[in-house]
Each structure stands twice: as C-alpha cells, then as structure tokens.
Chain A
Amino acid sequence: MQYLVKRLLAVIPVLLGVSVVVFSMLHLVPGDPVQMMLSEFQTSPEQIARLRAQLHLDEPLPKQFGRFLWNAVRGDFGYSMRTKRPVGAEILDNLPSTVTLALAGMVVAVVMGVTLGVMAAARQRSWFDSGSMLVALLGVSMPSFWFGLLLIFAFSLKLGWLPATGGGDVWHLMMPAMTLGMGASAIIARLSRSCMLEVLRQEYITTARAKGLRESWVILRHGLKNALIPVVTIVGLQLGQLLGGTVIIETVFARPGVGRLIVNGILEKDFPLVQGVVLVGATAYVLINLLVDVTYAFLDPRIRDT
C-alpha cells in the first residue's frame, strides 16, 4: 500500500510536466500561432482576433495555463477547428477502435513472442533457436508500414482473403493487429529467450529434471512461471508503445482511430485537436506504466522493499 501511494505521488509531477509541455506547444510555434492555424483560409483581422480570444491567447500566460489545466482535468480540450466538435468527443469516438487495435496487437505480440522465445531457449544452439532469433531481428528491423503493405498485397489484393482497409469486425482487425504486434513480438521473443535461459540454469530446474519430470513439464511448470516476471514489465511497456504505434498502422489500413485523428490534425493545423490527443496519449502511457510497476511489485515482493 505504501509502495502504491509512493508511486501514485510520483506520477503527479510527471503529469503536471506533461501538461506544461502540451500547453507550451501552441506558444512554441514560430510566429503567430493563430495566423499559422488560419494560413490556409482567407481571414480578416476580426476573425483572427476572434479566434485569439476564443483560444484565450490574449490573456496572461499563467492564467492561460491555469485555465488549460482546469479544463483538461474536466476532460475539456476545446473545440476541433476542422469539425467544430469538442475535442474530447472526437477522442472518445475514436478511442475504442485504437484501444481494440492496441490490445489485439498485444495479444499477437505476447503469443508470438513468448512462444518463439521459450521454444528457442528450450532448443538453445539449434537451427530453431537461430531461425527464431533471425525472425526476431527481422521483426525489429522491418518498417511496420511496409510490412502492413506486404500483408495488404498478399492477403487482400492477391488472395482476397481479408479486407485491406477500414474498421469494424474481427476480419478488419487481423492484418493491422499482425502488423502492430510484429515489432513488439520480436522484442518479447528476445527477452523471453534470455530470461528462460537464465531460469533453466537454476538448481531447482536441475532438481526437477533429476526427479524424472518430462522436459515440457519442467519448462512450462517450473521454468515459464519464473521466466515470465521480467517479461510482464516489457509487455506493459510495449502496450504503451503499441498505443503510439497505432498512429502508423491506422494510416496504412485507413482505419478510424486516435492515431489517424492526430495525423489529420497536424496536416490540417488543428492545434486544439493535436494538443488534446497528445495530452490524452501521454497521460494514458504514464498510467499504463504505473500499472506495470504496481503489477511488477505485486509479482516480485523484492521490488516493494527497495
């Protein structure tokens, strides 16, 4: 409990810092941010002044930040300049699709990564070990957007098995989840292999083998359980990275989601939308990391004591 409170308190300054960064975005724009946002429209000085007042840019900076922070706490991120809808509503509409994609990508990553890693460790220095680590290296090195295009080419355009673009049912989710999970699965596979090798050298594994237990039982019952503790941490951290990765995957597969929302927001200079998405994304990432830390401490009591 003490550990949880300590970790919760540590998160507050980070979130405050994140909000300062996001608030500063508009003020760091070279030149006048309002003119930059309206650069693609024919606007009169009155319209520019109106938008400046609407964004409260005519107020002193501390007052602006106070208002920004208070509104953000209440989930009010202002209005999208493109759709004129509240940014919070835009994010909420697109969030389920992004979260579904990130979780599906995580499932792919964990299943593929842990399976490959554990099997490679169990067959150390065999062709399977070398092959799976080569696959992992390719997975880390391959651009996800190209892998996505290769999947579209093979399974949609040539074989016609899966829909190439859009969102909705599970068939639309398969290729994006594969693409998103590929990079993370490579990292998980390498870590699982190394943790498993470490565990397989322990004396209790030798004892289990000496008792005459089957090798598969030794690996699954005695090895995997202990090898997975560090993997849990990387899985949690990868979930946050996967949420960030959806930006690219949603564009490749023309899938609705928060990632596409921010890309369109940047291209259309819709600053309130970009600020809202960045703030929500960073906050979610910080909270996921907090959850990972707490879970890790729950699984390994030594962490709580340090």
Chain B
Amino acid sequence: MATMAQESSHRRAPTHGIRSVARQLRYHKGALGGLLVLVLLSLVALSAPLLAPYDPLKVQARKALRPPSAEFFLGTDQYGRDVLSRTIYGTRISLLVGCISVSIAAVSGLLIGLVAGYYGGLVDHVCMRCMDIMLAFPGILLALAIVSILGPSLANLMIAVGVSAIPAYARLVRGAVLSAKQNLYVEAARVVGCSSGAILVRHILPNVAAPVMVLCTLGMGTAILAAAALSFLGLGSQPPTPEWGRMLSEGRAYLREHWWIATAPGLAILITVLAMNLLGDGLRDALDPRLKL
C-alpha cells in the first residue's frame, strides 16, 4: 500500500512541478515573450517549405544583389538567392544545431555528473579532473580544436559545440547530486535495498532536473551563437547551406552597398538568442532562484 502511494506520488510530482513552473512563468513577462518567440521560430522552422517564397539555393545571376522590394522582401544576395527564403531555412538549421549540441552536452554531462556525484571517491576524482582539463580551454578554443580534428562540416560543428559544453553540465549535475544524496529519502531507499541505478533515476534525477533544464535553455542560446561564430569563420556549415553565420560571413564583403545581406541573418540570431535567454532567465527564477544573478 505504502509502495503504491509512493509510486502514485512519484507520478504526480512532475505534473505538479510543471504546473507550478507554468504558473510562475505566467507572471514573468520576459519569459513569456521569449517562449512565444521560440514557438513562432519553431513553427517557421517546421513550415519553411510553405513559408519561403523561393528555393533558398536557387541561383539567379540576373537578379543578384537586389535591394528589398515587393518581389524580394529582404533583397537578394550576390548569387541572386532570396535572403528571406535563406533566413527562413536558416531557422531550421540554427534550431537543429542548438538542439543537437545541447543534447550532446546535457546527456553526456548528466551521465558524468550523476556517476561522479553519486559514487564519489576515485570515480568522482577522475571524472572531475577530466572536466577541469576541458575547462582549461578558453571560449571556443576547444570547439576549434575539435573542428581541426574532425574537419569543417555542419555535423562536426554540432559535435564540437556540444562536447565543449559538457563540463558545465557535469559540474552542475555533480553539485546537485552531492546535495541530493544527503537527503533522508535517498538513505531510506538504499536501506530498503534499491539498486544504485534505481536510486539515481527515481530519487536523484528529479532533483537535478530543474537546474539542468535552466542550463539547457540558456545553453541553447550560447550553442547557437557558438555555431554561428564557427560558421562565420568558415569552420562550420559549408556553402551553399543557408546557415545564419555563413550568410553573415558572405554578406560581409558586400556591406558597403548591399547591407541587407548581412542584416537579416544577424537580426535572426539576435532574436533567437534573446528569446532563449529571456526564457532561460524566467525558468531560472521559477525553478532555481538560487542561481539568479
């Protein structure tokens, strides 16, 4: 009976948590705005073939470098490709890069942090020293090193951005696990004979979910920025992929007379990252106010 009650409370807890977060987010105007923008961007990404007026890869030499007009709402680039269509398709790529990079970082960091924090001792020491070594590379240097090994491509870009973000997740999760495993109910679960895996998944993981969710949202913006930066440097997506960083890099040469080529992708990155940061700030306030700056 007690087990049934315990299980049913387990099932109810996340729903209550989500409801509580949703209730708190309702009063956070910035987070709501960010969420709304992200929903819109996701819809744009999903319905890109329906929304884009032209094929983003179609070269029309005679229509090159046209300024914004009724025919080409955001103008055309040096190959006559429609900037609006390329920006719309770029939403797909940027959101995909952000999601996959953050997934790589979060899943790996979660596993490392859970194992290191729960088992402690030598396992913890080895895992955390490895993370310290990864953290010894500043900014995008680690991502650059990974790209130099794997070669420049969109897939390798996602791996590079994801791997370089692992230490942040691992350290955060380890800290949360160290605190959670002191709780009496974890001790009780161990006493009644729960396996380590069950304790980690059923009792400790729910405790670390909140900070990880906040870091994922904020990290998505950082990942999109890092990926766009690497593509801007020519180390990410390759031509003719309509990726925002790549589009900015191509528009740089035409900045003086044809400013529109670099304007749309720049604004698109800014709006997307801003929305992620607003939502991340709101989630942090709702889920884990201790992290608030």
A and B bind: yes
Contacting pair A243 B139 (CB below 8 A): yes
> B10-18, B98-106, B142-150, B208-216: which lies at the A interface?
B142-150
Q: A255 on the interface (CB 8 Å rule)?
A: no
Kindly provide the distance from the CB of A296 to the nearest chain B CB, expressed in whole angstroms.
Answer: 17
Contacting pair B221 A281 (CB below 8 A): no
Residues 265-293 (chain B) with a chain A CB within 8 angstroms: 265-266, 269-270, 273-274, 276-278, 281, 292-293
Question: How many angstroms between the C-alpha atoms of A263 and B293 in the bound complex?
Answer: 34
Q: B140 on the interface (CB 8 Å rule)?
A: yes
Q: Which residues of A contact B270 (CB under 8 A)?
A: 138, 141-143, 146
Q: Which residues of B contact A251 (CB under 8 A)?
A: 232-233
> B84-92, B114-122, B169-177, B251-259: which lies at the A interface?
B251-259
Q: Which residues of A contact B67 (CB under 8 A)?
A: none
Contacting pair A17 B136 (CB below 8 A): yes
Q: A229 on the interface (CB 8 Å rule)?
A: no
Cross-interface CB contact of B132 among A14, A28, A240, A248, cutoff 8 Å: A14
Q: Which residues of A contact B266 (CB under 8 A)?
A: 143, 146, 149-150
Question: How many angstroms between the C-alpha atoms of A142 and B274 in the bound complex?
Answer: 8
Cross-interface CB contact of B139 among A29, A142, A245, A274, cutoff 8 Å: A245
What number of residue pairs across chains A and B have CB atoms under 8 A from each other?
A: 144
Kindly provide the distance from the CB of A239 to the nearest chain B CB, expressed in whole angstroms.
Answer: 9
Q: B234 on the interface (CB 8 Å rule)?
A: yes
Q: A204 on the interface (CB 8 Å rule)?
A: no
Kindly report which residue of chain A lies nearest to residue B281, judged by CB atoms: A137
Contacting pair B140 A244 (CB below 8 A): yes
Question: How many angstroms between the C-alpha atoms of A28 and B235 in the bound complex?
Answer: 18
Q: Which residues of B contact A266 (CB under 8 A)?
A: 144, 147-148, 152, 235
Q: Which residues of B contact A14 (CB under 8 A)?
A: 129, 132-133, 136
Kindly provide the distance from the CB of A187 to the nearest chain B CB, expressed in whole angstroms.
Answer: 9
Kindly provide the distance from the CB of B112 to the nearest chain A CB, expressed in whole angstroms.
Answer: 15
Q: Which residues of A contact B221 (CB under 8 A)?
A: 141
Residues of A in contact with B, size category: 35 or more
Question: How many angstroms between the C-alpha atoms of A190 and B132 in the bound complex?
Answer: 26
Q: Which residues of B contact A146 (CB under 8 A)?
A: 248, 262, 265-266, 269-270
Q: Which residues of A contact B149 (CB under 8 A)?
A: 25, 28-29
Q: Which residues of B contact A140 (CB under 8 A)?
A: 273, 277
Question: How many angstroms between the C-alpha atoms of A265 and B147 in the bound complex?
Answer: 12
Kindly report which residue of chain A lies nearest to residue B278, judged by CB atoms: A137
Question: How many angstroms between the C-alpha atoms of A76 and B178 in the bound complex?
Answer: 43
Kindly report which residue of chain A lies nearest to residue B225, judged by CB atoms: A143
Question: How many angstroms between the C-alpha atoms of A21 and B142 in the bound complex?
Answer: 10
Residues of B in contact with A, size category: 35 or more
Quick one: CB contact mask for A119-148 with B, threshold 8 Å, 1 for yes? 000000000000000000110111111100
Q: B137 on the interface (CB 8 Å rule)?
A: yes
Q: Which residues of A contact B130 (CB under 8 A)?
A: 17
Contacting pair A152 B255 (CB below 8 A): yes
Contacting pair B136 A262 (CB below 8 A): no
Question: How many angstroms between the C-alpha atoms of A266 and B232 in the bound complex?
Answer: 14
Contacting pair A153 B233 (CB below 8 A): no
Contacting pair A278 B141 (CB below 8 A): yes
Contacting pair A138 B144 (CB below 8 A): no
Question: How many angstroms between the C-alpha atoms of A284 and B137 in the bound complex?
Answer: 9
Q: B138 on the interface (CB 8 Å rule)?
A: yes
Question: How many angstroms between the C-alpha atoms of A141 and B280 in the bound complex?
Answer: 12
A267-B235 contact given A30-B150, A143-B228, A247-B140, CB 8 Å threshold: yes
Which of B149, B152, B256 has the largest number of chain A CB atoms within 10 A?
A: B149
Question: How many angstroms between the C-alpha atoms of A15 and B265 in the bound complex?
Answer: 39
Q: A18 on the interface (CB 8 Å rule)?
A: yes
Cross-interface CB contact of B229 among A30, A143, A285, cutoff 8 Å: A143
Contacting pair B273 A141 (CB below 8 A): yes
Kindly provide the distance from the CB of B139 to the nearest chain A CB, expressed in whole angstroms.
Answer: 2
Residues 9-36 (chain A) with a chain B CB within 8 angstroms: 13-15, 17-18, 20-22, 25, 28-30
Contacting pair A282 B138 (CB below 8 A): yes
Which of B144, B148, B245 has the largest number of chain A CB atoms within 10 A?
A: B148
Q: A47 on the interface (CB 8 Å rule)?
A: no
Q: List 17 A-B contacts (CB under 8 A).
A: A28-B149, A141-B270, A141-B273, A141-B274, A143-B232, A143-B273, A152-B255, A244-B139, A262-B141, A263-B234, A263-B235, A266-B152, A267-B235, A274-B144, A278-B141, A282-B141, A286-B136
Contacts A21-B134, A263-B235 given; 14 further ones with Cβ under 8 A? A14-B132, A20-B133, A21-B133, A22-B145, A28-B149, A141-B273, A149-B255, A150-B266, A190-B293, A241-B139, A248-B233, A262-B144, A274-B145, A282-B141
- Smallest CB-CB A-B distances: 4 pairs: A244-B139, A17-B133, A146-B266, A244-B138
